[in-house]
Amino acid sequence: MGKNSAMRSQSKRYQISKVKQDKRKLFVYWDDGHRSTFHYIWLRDNCYCSICGDPKHGEKRFQITDVPIDIEPLSVCWDRGNTLEILWKPDNHKSVYNAQWLRQHCYSQTEREHRQHRPIFWDSKIVSNLPEIAYQEVLNRNSGRLKLLENLRDYGICFVRNVPPQKGELKAFAQSFGPLLETNYGRIFEIIVDPEESHKSVANSEIDLIPHTDDAYQYAPPGIIFFHCLMANNDGSGQSIFVDGFQIAEMLRQEDSEAFALLCRYEVSFRKYYHDRIDMQFSSPVFCLDSGGNVKEVRISNLFPAPLDLPEEIIEPFYMAYRKLMQFYTNPRYYLKQSLQPGDLVMFDNHRILHGRTGIGRQNQRRHLRYCSVERDFFHSWWRLLVDSNI
């Protein structure tokens, strides 16, 4: 979920103990010994007075090009450590900053690292300590809902137990987070063995499915995916498999940093095509990194390949890297295997977690999962709102 805004709600109150200036920056010394550096241009840009913007919604009513890059204060003062006030040259514009807000947005290296969310990577051993929660707890308590969102944030996956195995349940639950996404398979998709439909989706076949992220051929693949189990096979077939793409990335990075770098730099091509109705194509690196080099997005799909379109000299090294990657994500050491039972619902981040399944026995094709998805933005938004409500 990117930067951790939980800081906003934490009870520690910071006070300004001293302020120093140079020609371009303000140095704020805090009561806990920390020093923040704020450039004048940054401070002026972040004035949220009623002239500069709408203080309630943070909307801006001026352009940064209206402010000289070398803007300087006429005066700086702070009130009992809780408020910082600046009068700017040359027009005497007044900006007032709340000390807590300043500290929460301090962009020193230590504070930026402190705000960075660190996901918890996992492998098959997670089975002994699953991120899970009871349905009633999520429905009835904000704390339960927050716990679910935290599991999604930290592990990329959460199992919800005791969801009545009835058709209407998934839609109502998923919509409580945000609108259902329209996909090639509709907004709600029935995952059952159905030879008639299997040309549209391999999910409707009986074959085993190698772990993958969904709809890699789209510009914006679905965010949070829901599987709700209505019926299960009773012969142990059709087990669900989940793999932590972040963990795979780190293992590969440690073992072969050049292979990892190739998969971060060059694009894999994906295509979804069927019968004159759909021809979607997209190319993307397997791993997208943030500016700190952390993996923020994973796109892996052997189900919808298109020919690699890479420089000649990259083809062979890329295949070496791609094969190594596949050896990781098909290694059961990284599998979370679960026989979903009626009443189980699993939610996972399709930009991090790969999913697959074992084949479905010919004699036993009762398995019925219902599928839908909601954009990740709504989950992050809910999480921030619930954290801010101090539940």
Residues that bind Fe ion (CB under 5 A): 214
Residue nearest to Fe ion (CB): 214
For residue 349, the one-letter residue type is D
Alpha carbon 319 to chain centroid, angstroms: 28
Smallest gap from Cβ 227 to Fe ion, in A, equals: 9
Smallest gap from Cβ 121 to Fe ion, in A, equals: 22
Smallest gap from Cβ 270 to Fe ion, in A, equals: 13
Pairing relationship of beta strands 224-231 and 368-374 according to DSSP bridges: antiparallel
User: Of 150 and 214, which has the nearer Cβ to Fe ion?
Assistant: 214
Smallest gap from Cβ 36 to Fe ion, in A, equals: 46
Asked whether the bond before 90 is cis by omega within 30 degrees of 0, the reply is yes
User: Of 214 and 244, which has the nearer Cβ to Fe ion?
Assistant: 214
Tell me which residue of 109, 73, 78, 110 sits closest to 91, measured CA to CA. 73
User: Of 214 and 297, which has the nearer Cβ to Fe ion?
Assistant: 214
Tell me which residue of 205, 196, 159, 222 sits closest to 375, measured CA to CA. 222
Q: How far is it, in rounded angstroms, from Cα 336 to Cα 347?
A: 14
User: Of 206 and 214, which has the nearer Cβ to Fe ion?
Assistant: 214
User: Of 95 and 350, which has the nearer Cβ to Fe ion?
Assistant: 350
User: Of 41 and 210, which has the nearer Cβ to Fe ion?
Assistant: 210
Smallest gap from Cβ 250 to Fe ion, in A, equals: 23
Q: Kindly list the distances between the CA atom of residue 275 and the CA atoms of 182, 200, 215, 278, 307, in Å, as whole numbers in the listed order.
A: 19, 9, 17, 7, 19
Looking at the chain, the number of H-run helices and the number of E-run strands are 10, 22
User: Of 95 and 237, which has the nearer Cβ to Fe ion?
Assistant: 237
Smallest gap from Cβ 2 to Fe ion, in A, equals: 25
Q: Kindly list the distances between the CA atom of residue 23 and the CA atoms of 38, 65, 341, in Å, as whole numbers in the listed order.
A: 12, 20, 66
Q: Kindly list the distances between the CA atom of residue 1 and the CA atoms of 183, 226, 227, 310, in Å, as whole numbers in the listed order.
A: 24, 18, 21, 32
User: Of 160 and 216, which has the nearer Cβ to Fe ion?
Assistant: 216
Q: Kindly list the distances between the CA atom of residue 271 and the CA atoms of 215, 281, 302, in Å, as whole numbers in the listed order.
A: 9, 4, 11
Structure tokens at 184: 């090639």
Smallest gap from Cβ 343 to Fe ion, in A, equals: 21
Smallest gap from Cβ 361 to Fe ion, in A, equals: 20
Q: Kindly list the distances between the CA atom of residue 298 and the CA atoms of 35, 41, 223, 240, 311, in Å, as whole numbers in the listed order.
A: 36, 36, 12, 19, 22
